[in-house]
Chains A and B, each alone.
Chain A
Amino acid sequence: MSALERNNVTLHGALDGPPMMFAHGFGCDQTMWRFVWPAFGDDHRVVLFDHVGYGGSDASAFSESRYSSLEGYASDVLAICDELDLHDVVFVGHSVSAMIGVLAANARPERFARLVLVGPSPRYLDDEGYVGGFSEEDITGLLDSLESNYLGWSSAMAPVIVGNPDRPELGEELTNSFCRADPAIAAVFARATFLADNRRDLAQVPVPSLVLQCSEDVIAPRPVGEYVHDRLPDSRLVVLSATGHCPNLSAPAETVAAIKEFLAE
């Protein structure tokens, strides 16, 4: 299957410009970037996509064995790069996709020019000598939350959500559609995300990186962003005045400015 279809790749901006790829984090889809990517469209070929199971991706391509670790998602990123024959990619990854970008760049350095890591965390669970911010019990609680929010995913809605609307009238009932996924898929992605440990991958990152850290982020607290910055061979850390975990939505102007400054270096 074509990776472009599987991951609902959409291309925008200057199609002959240098490529800039935006990857959404756990929970929602490529719509997360809609306030950010237009600022780069004039001089970049903007590549947006959805992780399998989210947004307009082909959920039937989901397989638990492939997507139960972040490597599976990184393989998808590389498959997109291959199909579009992208080189010198500026990869912007939000949340877990920051680490997915790290894995992809480590596997195939020749594809990437720079990484922008928005709210990265190489490990969410606390460990000896490391504070990720979460315990295993917290992650179980998240899985419970995902399960309790099953309700929008009734069997009548599922065909509409996976992009096969033989009953178009149901489309109007869709709510929360940007952050909707089959709960079984969401649980696999949640485990892959929150139980991952990518601390050792940071030291190998072959390209200059920008760490964008929000000032009050429950998911990726500041010491975690500083840890990432310390371990990366070539990085700069920018602490945004934006709070929360999604500066791409809550503070797009500040996010854009920080990325532009990094790219101008």
Chain B
Amino acid sequence: MSDPDGLLDESAEDLFETAPCGYLTTALDGKILRVNRTFEALTRRSRVELLGTRFQDLLTRGGAIYYETHHAPLLRMQGSVREIAVEIVRPDGSRLPALVNSALRHDDAGRPRVIRTTVFDATDRRRYEQELLAARRREQDVALELQRGLLAGALREGEGIEIGVAYRPADKGIEVGGDWYDAFWLVEEETLGIVVGDVVGRGLAAAATMGQLRSALRALASTGFEPGPLLEALSEFSRRHSVGQMATVAYVEIDVRLGSMRYACAGHPPPVIVEPGAAARLASDGRSPPLDAHAAWDDRPEGACRLAPGAMVVLYTDGLVERTDRPVQAGLDELLVTIDRLAGEAPGAVASSLADSVAGAGGSRDDVCVLVLRLRARG
């Protein structure tokens, strides 16, 4: 390449010393053997100070642990590492956020001899990342608050009933999930609506969807919709306003005085009924697809049954019965057995034990929400 003006007349030494990044060579244990001027400037230390110091000793203590547990082993295993974020501590205690790439140099016999490392000032980039992380945490906090607010507004017990709920967020993941529940009197001390639902997704969007479905369902229930038509209308709401597509809902209306219930499930696992002296059973009627699953679906069916005094109704989300290592039916069978075993307990204890039984069986992959209602035995 022609270079008449001598623009490329650069010495190797100059290329090294004034490279636009810190450049250092260390022994395999991290002891610094050579640095360039840029690295001196970045660290605000002279090369006299730096030579013989270990590179990891220039980092924060936490960063040094990261170096020993990630950076050094990776370098040995793959010969190079890149984009490791560190903070270099300067003599005045200030910290330089930096990104580091390292590569092993080998001798002719293939044995590793030295490490070459480049260091880039990442101050602005780190600041931006921290803003992003903070924004993400804020969103999680808001979603959590919103969900707590929604879940806390439910549950007014009455003379004739006892209610217990348990909500266990999935172990994995930091965002709130889409499980929700509700319980409200349609006619005080006479007719009660109970709901457990599951909206698709997690986080702020899921919490907001949950809030909308909950309000819509309450509004529809209070204007006299019965369970089947109510879920039909809720699905129409979902379709028309693009809220909660594919959400699942179990809605149960209980006449406390007559001891009867009517119910419908949109894509949701069936409620469980336990009556004194009888085995737990699934309320398997009234099944239809999730909300807004098929535009053409109309006429959602509903089921109805009597409830003996002292009967218990259990609503729950799929996290309670679905596991990757067994079919759903096996989960439902196990649920019935577990509920039979717990039938003598108070509703709150039943709900907690059920939710914990999933966690005990290797942790829940999904949120778990359980609502247990018991009609008081008439005295």
A141 and B68 form a contact (CB under 8 A): no
The count of residues in chain B whose C-beta lies closer than 8 Å to any C-beta of chain A is 42
**A216 to chain B: which residues have CB within 8 Å?**
29
A246 and B171 form a contact (CB under 8 A): no
The answer to whether the Cβ of A199 comes within 8 Å of any Cβ in the partner chain is no
Q: Do A27 and B62 contact each other (CB < 8 Å), given the known contacts A63-B362, A65-B363, A246-B68?
A: no
A178 and B74 form a contact (CB under 8 A): yes
- A32–B70 alpha-carbon span in the complex (Å): 11
A145 and B74 form a contact (CB under 8 A): no
**A144 to chain B: which residues have CB within 8 Å?**
62
A249 and B76 form a contact (CB under 8 A): yes
B62 and A140 form a contact (CB under 8 A): yes
The smallest C-beta distance from B61 to any residue of chain A, in angstroms, reads 4
**A250 to chain B: which residues have CB within 8 Å?**
28-29, 72, 76
Q: Do A219 and B171 contact each other (CB < 8 Å), given the known contacts A61-B363, A141-B63?
A: no
A245 and B363 form a contact (CB under 8 A): no
Produce 1/0 per residue, A134-158, CB < 8 A to B.
1101111111111111111000000
The answer to whether the Cβ of B153 comes within 8 Å of any Cβ in the partner chain is no
B362 and A61 form a contact (CB under 8 A): yes
**A149 to chain B: which residues have CB within 8 Å?**
66, 70, 84-85
B66 and A145 form a contact (CB under 8 A): yes
A60 and B172 form a contact (CB under 8 A): yes
The smallest C-beta distance from B289 to any residue of chain A, in angstroms, reads 26
B69 and A26 form a contact (CB under 8 A): yes
**A137 to chain B: which residues have CB within 8 Å?**
61
- A243–B26 alpha-carbon span in the complex (Å): 14
The smallest C-beta distance from A248 to any residue of chain B, in angstroms, reads 9
| Interface size classification for chain A | 35 or more
B63 and A218 form a contact (CB under 8 A): no
Q: Do A179 and B70 contact each other (CB < 8 Å), given the known contacts A152-B83, A250-B76?
A: yes
**A60 to chain B: which residues have CB within 8 Å?**
172, 324, 365
The smallest C-beta distance from A154 to any residue of chain B, in angstroms, reads 12
B68 and A63 form a contact (CB under 8 A): no
Q: List the A residue with the shortest CB-CB distance to B325.
A: A1
B172 and A145 form a contact (CB under 8 A): no
- A218–B325 alpha-carbon span in the complex (Å): 43
- A152–B99 alpha-carbon span in the complex (Å): 13
B76 and A246 form a contact (CB under 8 A): yes
- A138–B97 alpha-carbon span in the complex (Å): 16
**B81 to chain A: which residues have CB within 8 Å?**
175-176
A65 and B66 form a contact (CB under 8 A): no
The answer to whether the Cβ of A25 comes within 8 Å of any Cβ in the partner chain is yes
**B30 to chain A: which residues have CB within 8 Å?**
244
B85 and A148 form a contact (CB under 8 A): yes
The answer to whether the Cβ of A69 comes within 8 Å of any Cβ in the partner chain is no
- Which of B62, B82, B171 is in CB contact (< 8 Å) with A64? B171
The answer to whether the Cβ of B183 comes within 8 Å of any Cβ in the partner chain is no
The answer to whether the Cβ of B174 comes within 8 Å of any Cβ in the partner chain is yes
- The residue in B29, B77, B362 that gathers the most chain A C-beta atoms within 10 A of its C-beta is B77
The answer to whether the Cβ of B235 comes within 8 Å of any Cβ in the partner chain is no
Q: List the A residue with the shortest CB-CB distance to B76.
A: A249
B61 and A179 form a contact (CB under 8 A): no
A141 and B362 form a contact (CB under 8 A): no
The smallest C-beta distance from A34 to any residue of chain B, in angstroms, reads 8
A62 and B74 form a contact (CB under 8 A): no
- Which of A34, A62, A141 is in CB contact (< 8 Å) with B172? A62
Q: List the A residue with the shortest CB-CB distance to B71.
A: A179
Q: Do A145 and B65 contact each other (CB < 8 Å), given the known contacts A32-B73, A176-B81?
A: yes
**B365 to chain A: which residues have CB within 8 Å?**
60
Q: Do A62 and B77 contact each other (CB < 8 Å), given the known contacts A26-B69, A145-B62, A149-B66?
A: no
- A152–B126 alpha-carbon span in the complex (Å): 15
The smallest C-beta distance from B339 to any residue of chain A, in angstroms, reads 23
B83 and A28 form a contact (CB under 8 A): no
- A219–B67 alpha-carbon span in the complex (Å): 10
- The residue in A134, A148, A216 that gathers the most chain B C-beta atoms within 10 A of its C-beta is A148
B74 and A179 form a contact (CB under 8 A): yes
Closest 3 CB pairs of A and B: A141-B62, A63-B363, A27-B69
Binding site for A on B (CB under 8 A): 28-30, 56, 60-66, 68-70, 72-74, 76-78, 81-87, 97, 126, 129, 133, 171-174, 324-325, 359, 362-365
Binding site for B on A (CB under 8 A): 1, 25-28, 31-32, 34, 60-66, 95, 134-135, 137-152, 175-179, 184, 194, 216-219, 243-246, 249-250
The 23 listed contacts between A and B (C-beta, < 8 Å) are A1-B324, A1-B362, A27-B69, A27-B70, A61-B362, A61-B363, A62-B171, A63-B364, A66-B171, A138-B65, A142-B66, A145-B63, A145-B86, A147-B133, A151-B85, A175-B82, A218-B65, A219-B65, A244-B30, A244-B68, A244-B72, A246-B76, A250-B72
14 further A-B contacts with Cβ under 8 Å, apart from A142-B62, A146-B66, A245-B68, are A28-B69, A28-B70, A62-B363, A63-B359, A138-B61, A142-B65, A145-B86, A176-B70, A178-B73, A179-B73, A218-B68, A245-B69, A246-B72, A249-B73
